């Protein structure tokens, strides 16, 4: 018996039940009870199926289950005989999905059970509209899943959970990445726009195009893969599912490009946190609570965004100083207390540490925190210790292996007679990947790889010449300072003799 005939049979049985409901009050109670029992057995024999309906909206709000079912069914193979299809693309999706229109059927298999999915659209007029002529039609969409009643427990406990997880994963895979920036205005949140604003993130950087030592790159990729698959492991060891990366090195060495490559590799959103726009520790917590899971929180140039170490340095300096005057100590103590009172209500190092590694840091899952800095030594050790910044990644000057990646990216070449000369120069010169890429970039249509490589050789030779001059200058300065020290030592010695 086909699915269509079963549906027709079900509707006919439902009609008979309606008729029975209108006339059953003419029968005695005992007879009615026996007839109902017999009828249910007859109905289950001819139509032993159960239906579950999933509406698009529940209590006026979007039903997440409906959205996840829609994504899940979009990946299922469409019946060859299906004639009515529809194509849909959500606002934040990279691609569109072709699915069945109303009335068509999708058959799914799960743990030996056969399940039938159908979409339904019910149109009715909005009762809240003022005036009969102004009423607008409203569409009520839903999905129904039909299956044999012996699989009821399995469907409710396992299958629907499977559909939701798969649908959620498909949504995440197909969505457009976003980059968020925290608002610099305190009133923005109250206009319904939240504490973050976003645009589509379309940076093309990948680990394949990243100019970096291949071994170090492989180490980073392995760490990211282990983290993304570590949900059960982090739960087992009792740690929040997050990881911190410190990117440090001279300007132009690819720290921002590394962040983009990590985001594209994991398909995560980016939250670019500007600390100077954060009013206090409470505001920092609110920002954290509005970030999503599967995201990267970035604080660039953390050493020069706000002063997070001044107070600690003052205390350290005070501990190192000694004085015998009690009045002076009391005065210094009162000044420090006054300073602490002024700091109240501001963003502090303690607040940032709690943001990274405190209780509030566990309000989301699968989150990465990245700091960048040009001067690692300027950062407070508590800020970058293991457990907060788990992996310290040095973004160094461009070397020969990284140059070969850039040559492949910009010039589409893997080898060239000039490569040996370039390799020799890289061993003597420090130059950033940014400067190398600029010299390798084709400036006009008539240019070719050889012109670009020669431009790079000239830049490397200039850098080498400058480095040699700087070295000579430092040596001269060092010799001059030594000679001055000798002369001053002799003068001091003569003055001591004269004084005697």
Q: Is the model's pLDDT at 23 over the cut of 70?
A: no
User: Across 133-142, 150-159, 310-319, 350-359, which has the greatest mean pLDDT?
Assistant: 150-159
Q: Which two tokens stand for residue 63?
A: 């039903």
pLDDT band at 12 (very low <50, low <70, confident <90, very high): low
Q: What is the C-alpha to C-alpha distance for residues 217 and 207, in angstroms, rounded to an integer?
A: 7
Q: What are phi and psi of 130, to 5 degrees?
A: -85, 120
Dig out the tokens for 102 from the structure. 């109303």
Q: Quote the pLDDT of residue 190.
A: 43
CA 224 to chain centroid, in Å, comes to 12
Entry field: residues in the chain: 500
Q: Is the pLDDT of residue 2 over 60?
A: no
Name the pTM for this structure.
Answer: 0.68
Find the range with the poorest average confidence among 58-72, 93-107, 234-248, 308-322. 308-322
Higher pLDDT among residues 123 and 135, named by residue = 123
Render pLDDT for 215-242 as a digit per residue (tens, 0 to 9): 999 999 999 999 999 989 998 998 889 9
| The pLDDT value given to residue 37 | 62
* CB-CB contact of 254 with 210 (8 Å): yes
Q: Has residue 296 got a pLDDT over 60? A: yes
Predicted local distance difference test score (pLDDT) of residue 57: 85
Closest Cα to residue 40, out of 118, 149, 116?
149
Helix ranges, 249-309 (H): 255-266, 281-289
The pLDDT, as a whole number, for residue 329 is: 45
Average pLDDT, the chain: 78
* Residue 247: Cβ-neighbour burial (10 angstroms; 0-12, 13-18, 19+): buried
Q: How far is CA 288 from CA 176, 241, 263, 285, 362, in A?
A: 21, 15, 18, 5, 10
pLDDT at residue 379 tops 70: yes
Task: List the domains of the chain with CATH numbers.
Answer: 32-124+136-174 (no CATH), 180-307+346-394 (3.40.50.300), 400-489 (no CATH)
Q: What pLDDT, on the 0 to 100 scale, is given for residue 326?
A: 46
């Amino acid at each position: 018996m086909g699915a269509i005939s079963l549906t027709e049979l079900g509707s006919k049985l439902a009609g008979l039940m309606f008729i029975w409901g209108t006339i059953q009050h003419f029968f005695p109670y005992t007879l009615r009870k026996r007839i109902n029992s017999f009828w249910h057995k007859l109905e289950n024999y001819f139509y032993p199926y159960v239906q579950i309906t999933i509406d698009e909206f529940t209590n006026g709000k979007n039903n997440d289950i409906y959205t996840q079912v829609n994504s899940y069914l979009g990946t299922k193979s469409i019946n060859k005989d299906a004639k009515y299809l529809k194509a849909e693309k959500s606002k934040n999706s990279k691609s569109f999905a072709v699915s069945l229109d109303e009335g068509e059927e999708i058959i799914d298999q799960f743990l030996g059970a056969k399940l039938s999915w159908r979409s339904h659209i019910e149109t009715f007029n909005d009762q809240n509209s003022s005036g009969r002529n102004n009423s607008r039609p409203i569409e009520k969409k839903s999905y129904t899943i039909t299956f044999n009643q012996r699989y009821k427990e399995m469907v409710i406990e396992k299958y629907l959970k499977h559909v939701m997880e798969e649908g959620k994963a498909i949504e995440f895979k197909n969505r457009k990445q976003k980059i968020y920036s925290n608002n610099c205005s305190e009133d923005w949140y109250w206009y319904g726009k939240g504490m973050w604003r976003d645009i589509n993130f379309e940076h093309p950087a990948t680990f394949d195009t990243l100019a970096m030592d291949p071994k170090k790159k492989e180490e980073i990729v392995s760490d990211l893969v282990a983290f993304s698959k570590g949900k059960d492991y982090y739960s087992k060891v009792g740690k929040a599912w997050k990881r911190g990366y410190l990117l440090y090195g001279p300007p132009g060495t690819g720290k921002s490009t590394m962040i983009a490559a990590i985001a594209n590799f994991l398909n995560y959103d980016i939250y670019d946190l500007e600390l100077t726009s954060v009013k206090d520790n409470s505001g920092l917590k609110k920002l954290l609570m509005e970030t999503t899971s599967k995201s990267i929180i970035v604080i660039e140039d953390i050493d020069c965004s706000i002063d997070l170490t001044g107070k600690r340095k003052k205390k350290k300096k005070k501990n190192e100083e000694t004085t015998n005057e009690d009045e002076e100590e009391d005065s210094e103590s009162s000044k420090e207390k006054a300073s602490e009172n002024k700091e109240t209500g501001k963003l502090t190092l303690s607040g940032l540490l709690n943001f990274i590694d405190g209780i509030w840091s566990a309000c989301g899952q699968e989150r990465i925190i990245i700091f960048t800095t040009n001067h690692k030594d300027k950062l407070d050790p508590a800020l970058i210790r293991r457990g907060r910044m788990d992996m310290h990644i040095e973004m160094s000057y461009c070397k020969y292996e990284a140059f070969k990646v850039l040559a492949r990216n910009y010039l589409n070449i893997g080898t060239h007679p000039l490569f040996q000369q370039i390799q020799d120069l890289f061993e003597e010169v420090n130059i950033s990947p940014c400067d190398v890429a600029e010299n390798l970039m084709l400036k006009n249509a008539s240019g070719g790889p050889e012109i670009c490589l020669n431009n790079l050789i000239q830049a490397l030779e200039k850098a080498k010449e400058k480095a040699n001059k700087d070295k000579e200058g430092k040596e001269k300065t060092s010799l001059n300072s030594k000679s001055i020290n000798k002369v001053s030592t002799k003068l001091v010695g003569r003055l001591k003799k004269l004084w005697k």
